[in-house]
Amino acid sequence: MKHTTAPKRQTKGTLMAEKVSSNLPVAITSLAITAADAAGTMEKMREASPDGFTMLNLDKIPFATADNYTWNVPTEEGPDPRRYLDVIIVHQHPARQRYSGTYDANTQTPPICVSYVGIRGRREPGGICAKCPYNRVSPDAECRPYRWLYLLFPESQFPTWLSLPRTSLSNKLANGIRRYLVGLAKGGRNKVKGGLWPWEVVTRIGLAKRERGIGMVATFVEGERLPEAMAAAVQKYVQDFRASLTFPTVNTLERDPVALFHDDFGPEPDDDDLLYGDGDSVS
């Protein structure tokens, strides 16, 4: 006869502790980059490719659709569904893309204008983003801001590319990317003197429903700091990666219409609270 054990009675405090514990990133004990010459490989890829070592050389995690709490991480065996991304953010920067017309998944076209760091656009109309007439906040805006993240998984030699849509950039998001990065710069949850770089900690990226409209937003939770030796290795890796990273040319965009994905993130609210840093301001 099978014997069963009655479940323990869970108090409100116990449930809260379990909820907090389950939301923390797992500790990283080893990194694949320490066992390979990732910097040398990136340099060879930069020299071999006509456009250099761009984000198009990296795997890309698609942003979640409405009511989907799962990230599909690309692997050699196919997409690996994960509830959270426990990663090291080795680089991040704003970007802008302007498209003409409404989104059509069956007829994807290259962006009319692209700004890889959110400061100056290439193609039409080009020029300074802060002075551009298309740089505005509205549900039907042709030019939309993003923040591109380069995420290092412990088992990977190269970062994986994740593009955050405008709906994940709002200042009102308590666990959003802007508040998270500013919080790290101020010392993180342990108030580290001098502040923290994103690559010094493990970050857990999750998904939550938008408060307004349909779709999801990315959430960010700070984990433990990396051990000193591991942090030193990651710092060198970050320097090598940033030195090797380049961006596609206009010819690449014309040659590969889906080089930069025109994703449909659903109707967007006319948020007055959105402020974008690093030259990505709304005029």
Establish if 103 belongs to a structural domain.
Answer: no
pTM of the complete model beyond 0.85? no
Whether 199 is in a domain gets the answer yes
Asked if the structure places residue 266 within a domain, the reply is: no
CA distance 190 to 103: 43
Range of the domain at 53: 31-89+146-255
| Contact indicator for 165, 63 with CB cutoff of 8 Å | yes
Tokens of 271: 């948020």
Does a structural domain hold residue 269? Answer: no
Count the Cβ atoms, other than its own, within 10 Å of residue 202: 20
Whether residue 187 is contained in a domain is answered as yes
pLDDT of residue 66: 78
Q: How many CB atoms lie within 10 A of CB 144?
A: 20
Number of domains in the chain: 1
The pLDDT value recorded for residue 5 is 41
Q: What is the pLDDT of residue 177?
A: 94
Residues 6+ apart with CB under 8 A from 21: none
The per-residue pLDDT for 263 is 45
Contact of 262 with 112, CB cutoff 8 Å: no
The segments of the chain whose pLDDT lies below 70 read 1-23, 50, 101-109, 138-140, 249-283
Determine the pLDDT at residue 50: 67
Residue 270 is assigned to a structural domain of this protein: no
Which residues, in sequence order, are CB contacts of 239 under 8 Å at separation 6+?
Answer: none
Q: Which two tokens stand for residue 203?
A: 């970050």
Phi, psi of 168 (to 5 degrees): -100, 5
Residue pointed to by tokens 């700070």: 222
* Residue 274 maps to a domain: no
Q: Is residue 181 part of a domain?
A: yes
Q: What does the block give as tokens for 97?
A: 């893309």
